[in-house]
Every structure is written in structure tokens, then in C-alpha cells.
Structure 1
Amino acid sequence: MTFEETGIKPELLSAISEMGFVQPTPIQEKTIPHLIHNSNDLIALAQTGTGKTAAFGLPILHNCDVKKKEVQALILCPTRELCLQISRDLDAFSKNLAGSKNIAVYGGADIGKQMRELRAGGQVVVGTPGRVYDLIRRKVLNVSQIRWMVLDEADEMLNMGFKEELDNILAETPAVKQTLLFSATMPKEIAQMATKYLNMPEEIAVGRKNEGAANVEHHYYVVHAKDKYLALKRVADNYPNCYAIVFCRTRMETRDVAEKLMADGYNADALHGDLSQAQRDYVMSRFRSGQLQMLVATDVAARGLDVNSLSHVINYSLPDDPEAYIHRSGRTGRAGKSGISVSIVHMRETGKLKQIERVSSKKFERKDVPAGEEICKVQLMHLVDRVADVEVNDSNIDPYMPEIMEKFAGLSGEEILKRFVSTEFNRFLAYYKNAPDLNVKGKEKKAYEKRGNIAFSRLFINAGKKQNLNAARLLGLINEHAKRKNIEIGKIDIQRKFSFFEIDSRYEKDLISSMGKSDLDGHQLQVDRVTGEERVSRPKIKSPKRNQADGRRGAKRKRSKR
């Protein structure tokens, strides 16, 4: 299919042609004709970087009445950066549409200016939930007559805690409108939102639900926790031309890693929530233009970052939520290009990889952290390639050649080459001389450890705090489904959407089979054995009997967390 065959207006066709759009992406090919000719609600599932903005933006611009100045379409997205990106794209698409006006409203910017723009009128408003609801309450933004409502990256808006704002905004919109929900993943919360706010929606999906991007390789390195930063430097040195986002868990970790990289001479900077809008814009502008090679960021800060040529995504810390990994890895391998998603993990994080593999339907390939000798060779060949490919300006260099030749008199061509290369290369040779092996040796450790006379297995369960699971409820589930009471229980680790626990390995298979056929408040449970976990000395704890008093059960819970 061509864009002409989608049916959009000539004014839009001419604009996207100038932008270099030749053929619709799969999500655009399925969505644009549908939205032009149909008014029913829609759920569209596609990964980041697949052209979702044009998929909903072009048909909305096609159908908008440019003669009317009131708001006809409201597009909600999770972050300022994504809001600005969508607004810029809509401006570019509609530049040949006389009378078309798009307005961006988001926090961290002058609300007075945004209010003046709204009062002047425009057909499409793009905004973040907090600022949009603020403007609605101020009676400046009127959404009572909109014809289209777009929830872009709806899963991320829920993850960022915007449910209340979304509910309040949607309550202000008319009952009869076309609602479009775009998301990279389809968690239970999105399905509930669709049931609540969409009217018999059609579903369009590119790839399977919650599946990672097809043209991204997934690599991981296993190191000790203390060696993660050293491993990060080796990964960066092993890919001299990498253009990457390095994802960290917290703002503090982001600052720490970025400061270390910059101090060690890497072309890097940090992007996190403590920066002012002006600072964020400056850092992102440098990264987009290629002045920065590595951007160290948190998940929230990187949302909406419009970069299509990332070679790598580096997970310095794995996210707790497997779906967040899908968003991260989707930052590379965009616009038909290939990319690599790298995870640097320590032994106790290998269980998370298994869950991410299951959710994303991708296989992770374990790689060895490159040795110093290997990196030196890569860097030397990179330097040689740069020298071989450099463009020589004879007219500028020729006047200096006699003096240069005099300096090198008595040296052979081979000796000159060696000295020239050494001026750039010596620091790598010095740094990686006698560099230690950072890889965790041998095969991944067994999924059980022996304490006293009991071998413990470490198990994974696909429920956590989000499903109201705590240590007491987990102990109750184990007690309910175990064939034998008083099974020895080890460490319990409750996370957001999944958890780990240790049990006497003799009862592992029976418990996995029994619990895997049950549910927790309607949530279907999955229990699996975890491989590759590090052995840690933990106290033994017995599962409480079903008729034990709450006080004793509480005491057991406290002991299990020591």
C-alpha cells in the first residue's frame, strides 16, 4: 500500500512526501484507512518507533474541519517530551493545510502562554494529563465537543499514576466520540480501561501483544554487582560507534553513572527528573544532534525521546516491571533499522531475565564481558579505519609538509605509522594492561542451595504487590497447595508484579503443579523454578499451619524478611 491509497488529503500527502515518507508502516497501513472511513473506537497495539503518531495523526487531520476553531481532537500522552514530539509531527503533517492549528499543553512551561493559545483557537490539543485537567478546571480548555479522543502510550500513563486525571478528563468529554487507545503493551489495567471507556472497540495489532521489537537482539552479561560499572565501560569500549541510552533505576544512580562516565572521558550526560525544563531541553538537543554518544536516563525521563538511530539500549539496572523492558528495548531498532539491547546483570537478577523473556517472547543471549586484549584490538582497528577514511585537504596541508617531513626524517613509513597510532592508542593499552576477567565463572549456579540437611529451590510466581500479594498471603498459598504441611520456607522476595520464594526442593514439582492451576483474586498464577540464582545464607522458616493464630503468623513473616 502507498500513502495515496490510504485516502488522505493531497495537502497531507505533499507534506509527508517532503518529509521523506514513502510507504506506510504496518500500523499506519492498518490504521489510517480504518480511521478515515470508520467512526468506531479502536485499540491499536504496536511497539515504540513504529509510526503511531502518523497512524492516528494523519486521519484526524484529514477529518478535522479547519474552518472551525474549537477543539475537535484531544490527544493525551504521558510526558512533556512525547507531547512536544507529537505536536511537532502534527505541525509538519499539516503545514499545507490552511487554517489548521495544533496546540501543545504540558507541565513545566508557561501556563499563561498556553492559555492564550487555547483562547485563540485550534482544532487539535496535545497534552499531558496533569496540565490538561488543570486547564479544563480553569475553564480555558473546552473538551465538551471533541470528536476524537486519543490515549497514546496509555500503559505508560497508568504506570506513571495518571489514572485519576484520565478518569476526570474523560468524564468531561462527550459520550459520542471516537476514542483511540494506542499502547505498546496490553496489561490488565489497559483492558479494564478499554472496557470502561471504549464502545465495542476494534483491535489492531502489529506483532503479538506485549512482544518486543522484531529487529532487536537481546544480549546479557553476568557480573558481580561491584563490577557493573566496569562492565558498562567495557561494553562501551567494545562498540566505539555506539549511540546509546543507558537505563538506570533511580535518579541518584543516573547521576552517579553519568558523572563517572564523564570523569572517565566518555561523551555522556544524564537525563532525570531533577533537571529543569531548560536543562532537559539542552541535554536532549545535544543527544539528538549526536554531540552526546551516551545518554544515561531513568525510564520516565526517556519517554518521548524522538531518536530513530540508536544502536544500543543498555540496561545498567533491569526494571522491576517486564513491560518496562519492552518499552526500553523498543527505543532501538526503529524505522526498520536493527539494534541491540544489552543487560548488565548480577547473579541474583537472572530470575528477572526469565520473566522478561516470557513476557516479551524474546530469547536472551548470554555474552562474555570482553577481555582487555579484545577491546584493545577493536579500538585499534577503529582508529585505523578513522585514519584510512579521513578526507585530506591538500591545499591546507601542503604548506606544512616540508617541515613535517623534516621532523620525520630518518623514520620509515612503518615507524611513523606506529608512533602516530600509539599517540591515540596508548591509553587503552595502559588501562587494559592486566585487566581482570569480569565474567562470573562457570555455568550458572543451580536453582537450589543446601542449608543444614535441606536443599532449597528458588521459585518464581507471577504475582506481587500489585496483586495484593504479601509474605503472609504467599505463605497461605503455599500451605494451601502443598501436599505436606510445615514445608521449610526460605527467603521471600515480594516485588511489584512478581515474587520469588524458596522452599524445600523435595516438594518443588508438586507445588509448581498445584499452584499453577490456581488463581489469586481472579489473577491466574504461574509458578516456575528459577535458574541461575546466587547462593545466599538465609535462616530456615517453616510455613505456618492453617489454624495458627494471626499473631504467630505475623511473627513468622518478620523472621522470613531477616
Structure 2
Amino acid sequence: MKTFQEYGLLNKNIIQAIEELGFKYPTPIQDKVIPFLLSSKKDIIALAQTGTGKTAAFGLPIIQQINIKSNFTQSLILCPTRELCIQITRDLCRFSKFSSLIKIVSLYGGANINSQIQSLKKQTHIVVGTPGRIIDLIQRKKLFFDKIKCLVLDEADEMLNMGFKDELDSIIEKLPKKRQSLLFSATMSRYINVIAHKYLTDPVEIVTGKKNIGSDDVKHVYYIIENLNKKYLTLKRIVDINPDIFGIIFCNTKKETKEIAESLIKDGYNVDALHGDLSQTQRESVMNRFRNKNLQFLVATDVAARGLDVNNITHIINYNLPKESEIYVHRSGRTGRAGNTGISVCIIQYKEIKNLREFEKKLGKNFDRIMVPTGEEICEKQLFFFVEKIKKVIVDEKIMNKFLPEIQKKLEFFDKKELIKRFSWIKFNHFMNFYKNSQDLNPIFYKKTQNKKRIFLRTKKFKKESFSKLFLNIGSKDKLTKLGLINLINQAVNKSRINIGHIEILSNSSLFEVEKRYRDKILIGMSRISHLGRPLSIEIKN
């Protein structure tokens, strides 16, 4: 692949700016769009996954083609949210760092309109704005687009989805008919054809990858919960089993976003909420803390998260499944960017499995089921994560040497093993105490899923007399959980579909109920297998 330099298409000022930003090779969407826009005035529809460099794809050609001698606005970029508006403006300013005579203005609601009006009194070549504020300034006769050469609709489908149809109609009516219109989106939603038919003329479609397909750098997983009462506890366990998590939790409503954020903060997590009720100042404060990793993660609605440009997000957690696969693509695209890998997590109930399977078909991705971690698994993961951090820590010897003699004196009564235990307990006592005697959140009884993983179903067709109670010689001290016991039964019955009744895990033993017709098969099968190297002994409990 050729570098930007080797293309010979962009001027030296732009090359200098993007090389300073670390851009050497164009992304697939940039590779297709930039040469096209520098050689053609045709309208385009460009579809590419979130995080693949769409802003540079349209921004670099726009900057190169600006006539700095003209004192009118030559390009208008419309986007759905303040955050995306700020992001695009920031990127364009970086791209034009050495093209100092190019003036770029961002116009969005929530900011001081008088300051924006003052900025428009100066020569402005590129305007980036949200529909509502653009309309406001047009009505005040402070903004004129009669000589616009290029219109960019970034995430235009989302603008329609957010109810900006009338504003878009009104703005585009003010533009010259002889212009180039560019429509950029991460997904081919039902709105794209409507927009293209209404606002574009005979557009060329440029697609990288497959339509509505998420990034290959994102792994899609899901956890099944028995009922909504266990959803928040499951969320906490997902967070706790990933000590280095840095991500976004998506909720469908502002109310739920606030509630989840407040609950997490109350439980000691470094979190804040991002929703439509925040002022611009509050929003920017939250985003700056998140970008600087002073927050572990955000709890956000889809609308509020539009345009987020934050690197190294490890996880996206769908606390609620979105209604449409296009929204899911946008969410999951916040991770797995710029060559990094990421994980998109869904927390669902059984009744939502059908929706998840539809997402799999539309996205062309497999969603892997993960079991909700147990308290013991979480404590172990956190403890060893802490140990690894200790191994990698770099000590400032100059500072520590001043205190070391006194520390040694105070701790000289403890041997190495005792010190390790005490330091570990100080760090992890809150985990240990919280998860002590915690229940297994995984539902035990399932039906067979479409991916053909065999799971069990509690049924009302069987009466209690139809079950046998069996006694097993291992229990919680042997690290046996309800789910682990089910896996042992799976091995013993060799994929026969049976029904399981009550399970009780005791300290040194376990009791469970199975259909009588499978009793002998389980007795024989389980006597031939082991658990953590320990042979199993099973008998009928009267």
C-alpha cells in the first residue's frame, strides 16, 4: 500500500500535518474517497465502519481545495451532535495546521451564540455545525451559504432519526443546486436511500468492507440473566472480572443512564453519565475526564454518545439491547479502533436471544456466550492482576530509601508470607467481603439454543415423583459451583437432553435431582469422570 506521501495527491502542508499526527498509510475508506474527491465533482455515498477515518476521508480533500483568496464559506459539514461537531472541527484544525490561512468555525447548541456570531464576522472557509444552531444563525441573517461548493452530511441517517428532517430541508434549500454533496455513514440504514434520493444527485456509492458489518477487531459476547433483578449485579461482575476495563455502558433512556451511573458511583466505581440533559460545559468536563482516563467508564445514551472520539476503549457494554442492528454497529464501533481490539458485551434475558440472533445475521458476526463470573473467579482475577502490577511497578529509589529504614523497623516482626497476606488483604478485602457467599447468577435451566450448545430446561410437565435425588462426594470446598455440576452431568450423560430439578452445593458434598429414567446412566457416567483430578463418587439419596 502506498503512503500518503507516495500518492502525490495531497499538498506538502497537509502531508506535514498528517505525518505529525502519525498518519502514514491511508485507511481503506481514505484510499477510495480521497482520490475520488480530488478528481471528481460527483456526489457520493460513503459507507465505512466507525473509527476508520471518515473525517480525514472528506476533510483532507476539502482542505486542499479551499480557495483562501475567496472570502465566502465554501464547505458546510452537518452532523447530528455537539460532540461530533467538536471532534470534526478539532480534526480539521489539525489537518490544516500548516495551512494557516484556512479558517474553520464550529457552530452548535449549548455554546454562547454571540461568540459564534463574532467568529462568523471574520473570513470563514469551512463551517461545521449541528442543524438546530445552523438554522438559528440563518434566521438571524448571520450565516449565508449561497456560494457553498461542498456539502457533507456526516451520519445524516442519525440526523433524521433524531428528528432533524425539517431543519435539513430548510438548510439545504438555501444551498446552491450546483454543488457536490457527500453523505458519510457507518451503516446502510433505512434512512440512507431516503436522504440520497432527496439531497444527492446520481451519487456514486463507495463502500469499504460489507454494509452494516461491524469491525473485525471487535469480539461480540453476551451474558444471560434470569431476570431484571440480576442485571445490575451482573454488570458489576462484568466490570470486576475485567480489572483494566475502560469503556462505555449504553442504556436506552436518560433515566436509566442516570440511575446506573448513580448506583455505580455509590458502589465505589469511577463513573459518570453522559446524556442530553447536560449543558455543554458539563458535557465537555465529563468527556475531558474520560479522555484523560480519570473515569473508568461512561454510562451513556446513544444520542449523547454520537461523535465520541476516544482512543483505547476496551469494552462496550450494552446494558440494554438497541432496537436496531445499525445502532448496535455504532455502539460496538466505539471500541476496536486504530488496530486495537475490543469487546462488545450484551446483557440479555432469554426472551432477547431471538433479537441477538437477528443481529448476528445482519452483522455477519458470531456472538459468543460467556457465563457470569462467580465471586471466587472475580477475587482470583483481581488478586493476580494486582500481583502483575506489583511485578511491573518502577520504584523511585531516591524517595523510598528515605522511608525504608523506618518501614523495615515497623514490619520486622512479620515474615515474607505474612506481609504478602496482609498487603493483599488491604487491597482486596472489599472484594472478598462483597463476594463472600455470593450466589451464582447464571440461570441453571435453559432450552437448547440455535448455536447447538446443550443446556437444560426446567419444565412443569414432570412431577416431583419423576425425579431421583443423587448425592455427590464434592462440594464448594472443591471449587464446585452449580454450573460446574451441570457441566459434569453433561459429560456423564453424553449429550442426552435431560431435566434437572433442585441443586444444593454443600461444603464437602452436593445434592441434585434428575429424571429417574436417566438415573442409572448418570450413576455409571459420573463414576468414570473426575473433578480437578479427584474421582467422583455418586450414590442415590433416599
TM-score, structure 2 normalization = 0.81
Unaligned stretches of 5+ residues in structure 1: 453-562
Kept after mapping to 1: 8 A contact 2:157/2:185: yes
Given that 1:49 and 1:308 are in contact with CA atoms closer than 8 Å, whether structure 2 keeps it comes out as no
Confirm whether residue 2 of structure 1 aligns to residue 11 of structure 2. no
**What is the 5 A alignment of 1:488-503?**
none
Counterpart of 2:145 (choices 143, 146, 149) is: 143
Q: Counterpart of 1:86?
A: 88
Equivalent residue for 2:242?
239
Question: Which one is further off, 194-203 or 227-236?
Answer: 194-203
How far residue 19 of structure 1 moved from its aligned partner, in angstroms, is: 1.0
Amino acid at match of 2:51: G
3-state SS of the aligned residue for 1:296?
Answer: strand
Aligned letter for 2:379? C
Aligned to 1:390: 393
Q: Are the equivalent residues in 2 in contact too, given 1:66–1:98 (CA < 8 A)?
A: no
Question: Match of 1:416, SS?
Answer: helix
The CA deviation string for residues 342-399 of structure 1, in whole angstroms up to 9 with x for no partner, is 0111222222212222222211111100111111110000111111111111221122
1:334 matches 2:334: no
The answer to whether residue 390 in structure 2 is matched with residue 357 in structure 1 is no
1:451 CA drift (Å): 12
CA offsets per residue over residues 132-176 of structure 1, 9 Å max, x none? 122122221111111100000112111111111111111111111
In structure 2, the CA distance between the partners of 1:335 and 1:406, relative to structure 1 (3 Å rule), is same
Mapped pair 1:69 → 2:71 = yes
Change (3 A) 1:109 1:449: same
Measure the CA separation in 2 of the matches of 1:21 and 1:346: 43
Residue 183 of structure 1 and its aligned partner are, at CA, apart by 0.7
- 2 CA distance for matches of 1:451 and 1:440? 17
What is the aligned counterpart of 1:133 among 132, 135, 148? 135
Output the CA distance in 1 between the equivalents of 2:370 and 2:447: 13
8 Å CA contact 1:248, 1:297 repeated in 2: yes
The match for 2:25 is 23
Letter of the 1:379 partner, please give it.
Answer: Q
Structure 2 Cα separation of the partners of residues 111 and 404 of structure 1: 59
Contact 2:108 2:129 in 1 (8 A): yes
Which residue of structure 2 aligns with residue 434 of structure 1?
A: 437
CA contact (8 A) 1:155 1:184 kept: no
Aligned to 1:256: 259
* Greater CA drift, 288-297 or 271-280: 271-280
CA distance in structure 2 between the aligned counterparts of 1:444 and 1:105, rounded to whole angstroms: 53
- Report Cα offsets for 1:189-233 as digits up to 9, x if no partner: 211211222111111111111111121000000002110100000
Alpha-carbon distance in structure 2 between the residues aligned to 1:120 and 1:236: 49
CA contact (8 A) 1:235 1:370 kept: yes
2:117 corresponding residue in structure 1: 115
| Counterpart residue type for residue 177 of structure 1 | R
Q: Do residues 40 (structure 1) and 35 (structure 2) align?
A: no
* Offset of residue 265 of structure 1: 0.7
Q: Distance in 2 between matches of 1:353 and 1:376?
A: 30
How far did residue 113 of structure 1 move? 1.3
Name the aligned partner's letter for residue 96 of structure 1.
F
User: Residue type matched to 2:21 in 1?
Assistant: M
Q: Is the 8 A contact 2:445 2:458 kept in 1?
A: no
Q: What amino acid does structure 1 have at the position aligned with 2:70?
A: K
- Give the equivalent residue in structure 2 for 1:211: 213
* Equivalent in 308, 313, 317 of residue 314 of structure 1: 317
CA deviation vs aligned residue, 1:264-312 (integer Å, no higher than 9, x gap): 1111111111111111111111001100011101111111111021000
- Residue type matched to 2:184 in 1? F
1:98 is matched with: 100
- Which residue is equivalent to 1:506? none
Q: 1:276 aligns with which of 276, 279, 283?
A: 279
Alignment partners' CA distance in 2, 1:348 and 1:256: 24
Say if 1:284 and 1:98 are closer, same or farther in 2 by CA, change over 3 A: closer
Corresponding position: 1:372 with 2:375: yes
> Matched residues in 2 for 1:415 and 1:33: separation?
66
State the TM-score, normalized to the length of structure 1: 0.78
Tell me which moved more, 282-291 or 394-403.
394-403
1:474 matched residue in structure 2: none
Unaligned runs of 5+ in 2: 451-456, 462-542
Give the 3-state SS of the residue equivalent to 1:120 in structure 2: coil
* Corresponding residue number in structure 2 for 1:228: 231
From 400, 414, 420, give the equivalent of 2:423. Answer: 420
CA contact (8 A) 1:6 1:32 kept: no
Check the 8 A contact 2:73/2:147 in 1, yes or no.
yes
Query: Paired residue for 1:529?
Result: none
Give the 3 Å change call, closer, same or farther, for CA 446–305 of structure 1 in structure 2.
Answer: closer
Moved beyond 4 Å, runs of 4+: 445-452
| TM-fit CA distance, 1:446 | 8.1
Q: Deviations over 1:420-469 (max 9, x none)?
A: 111111211111111111112233368999999xxxxxxxxxxxxxxxxx
AA partner of residue 47 (structure 2): L
Contact 2:302 2:331 in 1 (8 A): yes
Aligned AA for 1:322? Answer: S
Paired with 1:444 and 1:323, the residues of 2 have a C-alpha distance of 29
Q: Structure 2 CA distance, aligned partners of 1:6 and 1:437? A: 61
Whole-angstrom distance in 2 between the partners of 1:404 and 1:196: 74
Which has the larger Rg? Answer: 2
Aligned residue number for residue 160 of structure 2 = 158
What residue identity is the alignment partner of 1:132?
Answer: I
* % identical equivalent positions: 51
Provide the rounded CA distance (Å) in 2 between the counterparts of 1:187 and 1:25: 23
Residues 177 and 6 of structure 1: CA distance in aligned 2, closer, same or farther (over 3 Å): farther
Which amino acid is 1:283 matched to? V
1:357 match: secondary structure = helix
Query: Following the alignment from structure 1 to structure 2, what is the Cα–Cα distance between the partners of residues 348 and 370?
Result: 21
**CA distance in 1: counterparts of 2:182 and 2:460, whole angstroms:** 55
Q: Aligned partners of 1:230, 1:80: CA distance in 2, in Å?
A: 33
Decide whether the 8 Å contact of 2:156 with 2:195 is kept in 1.
no
Q: 1:172 to 1:243 in 2, by over 3 A?
A: same
Q: Is the 8 A contact 2:261 2:273 kept in 1?
A: yes
- Distance in 1 (alpha carbons) for counterparts of 2:297 and 2:447: 30
Tell me the amino acid that sits aligned with residue 118 of structure 2.
R
What pairs up with 1:538-549 in 2 under 5 angstroms? none
Q: 1:233 to 1:410 in 2, by over 3 A?
A: same
Does 2:289 correspond to 1:286?
Answer: yes
2:106 partner SS: strand
Q: Which amino acid aligns with 2:102?
A: S
The code of the aligned residue for 2:134 comes to V
> What is the alpha-carbon distance in structure 1 between the residues aligned to residue 327 and residue 317 of structure 2?
13
Change (3 A) 1:449 1:201: farther
Deviation at 1:88, TM superposition (A): 0.7
Is the 1:155–1:183 contact (alpha carbons within 8 Å) kept by the matching residues of 2?
yes
Residues in 1 aligned to 2:178 and 2:459: alpha-carbon distance in whole angstroms: 63
1:489-540 per-position Cα deviation (integer Å, ceiling 9, x unaligned): xxxxxxxxxxxxxxxxxxxxxxxxxxxxxxxxxxxxxxxxxxxxxxxxxxxx
